[in-house]
Amino acid sequence: MSDHVYNVLFLCTGNSARSILAEAMLAKDGKGRFQAFSAGSQPKPDVNPLALQVLRETDYPTEGMRSKSWDEFAAPGAPIMDFVFTVCDNAAGEVCPYWPGQPVTAHWGIEDPAAVEGSEMERKAAFVTAQRYLKNRISAFLALPMTSLDQVSLAARVREIGQQAGATSARPEVA
């Protein structure tokens, strides 16, 4: 087994909900095989409180979670990403920064739980649903035989993962 720790960046426009959920889940479920990051093209001032609540209630880490700009990860000295996943359709359609190292990219679009209006219970249910869809994708990603797949096969597999239940778009990513 390889000792390589893979760097994974989850992108969304606001970096306050879906990308935060994905970062926290991969950080824990990746058990040291993956270093998870998240960022947004237009980050919100704060992480959505319901994202943090759902993470805490499902025993995922929330300490240190903050909305951040994707510029942090395109700057000199930033970690080199092995994978970059967009989790919202808006971020997938934006012109992203140049990511050194030619990471494998894919679009894992999930409906925005922060856009749901209604009662507290309805809004929280949207976050729980988004977390479930992201958890399924992350579980499939963690099960990939990273060291035995060539770059082309790996790219195809992570794109297939993005088409699982709950996918918002079949269009190719542009990250």
- Catalytic site positions: 12, 88, 96
Strand (E) or helix (H) holding 127:
helix 120-142
- The total of other beta-carbon atoms located within 10 Å of residue 147's CB is 9
Q: How far apart are CA 9 and CA 79, in angstroms?
A: 10
3 state SS of 174 = coil
Give which of 106, 104, 168, 158 is closest to 133, Cα–Cα. Answer: 168
Do 11 and 70 meet the contact criterion of CB atoms below 8 Å apart?
yes
CA distance 54 to 49: 9
Structure tokens, 65: 């979670």
What are residue 136's phi and psi, to 5 degrees? -60, -40
